[in-house]
Chain A
Amino acid sequence: QKEVEQNSGPLSVPEGAIASLNCTYSDRVSQSFFWYRQYSGKSPELIMSIYSNGDKEDGRFTAQLNKASQYVSLLIRDSQPSDSATYLCAVNKGNTNAGKSTFGDGTTLTVKP
């Protein structure tokens, strides 16, 4: 079992719809959770971080965390073609390697005009 699992997709949504991206992790001591966006041929860019259970909103993006279920998600409202990218979920453990992130394989999102 991988430490961080994501549906590889591709996920396709029409412009203006809500895109829902999901991630599960295996280590219960995980403390910090991140979503990175990676455009084709580019480097990952952090778009959301979340540390406590519940929802965190930033513009059109909402991250949701449920530590009991070991589940983190990213919702993108009013999806735009410019949101088409691969979204990587990353998890940090709460130990001496707190700065070390384990990444999922990513979910590829396509937003169709």
Chain B
Amino acid sequence: DAGVIQSPRHEVTEMGQEVTLRCKPISGHNSLFWYRQTMMRGLELLIYFNNNVPIDDSGMPEDRFSAKMPNASFSTLKIQPSEPRDSAVYFCASRPGTGVEQYFGPGTRLTVT
């Protein structure tokens, strides 16, 4: 199994630009999670989907952030416009319907200058 796939692995962009992060969950998993990790705030849940439907987006920082899951094999997290304080590692994780273990992707390291 390929595991959770995220792209890009690294992204450097200028303040004000749009950033799109992508995630392909493990085939057959029906829950998908987007996290952000920084030294200051630790690992924070931004949003999670169950069967492609957003269940809890209370962790999304503000309207500049949006996430979609158009089908079971693809999700995006978009930041528009980006700000330096958005610099972090963004992880995507997926979970099978009958399990509790979350499988994390390798993460996208975002730097906004």
Contact = CB atoms under 8 A, between A and B. Distances in A.
A93 B101 CA distance: 14
Interface string A58-101: 00000000000000000000000000000010001000010111
Interface stretch (A9-17, A18-26, A39-47): A39-47
Interface of A: 32, 34, 42-46, 49, 88, 92, 97, 99-106
27 contacts: A32-B100, A34-B100, A34-B101, A42-B106, A43-B104, A43-B105, A43-B106, A44-B43, A44-B91, A45-B104, A46-B101, A49-B100, A49-B101, A88-B43, A92-B100, A97-B56, A99-B50, A100-B48, A100-B55, A100-B56, A101-B45, A102-B45, A104-B42, A105-B42, A105-B43, A106-B42, A106-B43
A46 B95 CA distance: 12
Contacts, number: 43
A100 B45 contact: yes
A46 B93 CA distance: 12
Contacts of A102: 45
Interface size class of B (residues with CB under 8 A): 10 to 19
Q: Which 4 A-B pairs have the closest CB atoms?
A: A43-B104, A105-B42, A103-B43, A46-B101
Interface of B: 31, 42-45, 48, 50, 55-56, 91, 95, 100-102, 104-107
A20 B101 CA distance: 23
A43 B45 contact: no
A7 to B, nearest CB: 13
A44 B56 CA distance: 21
Contacts of B31: 99
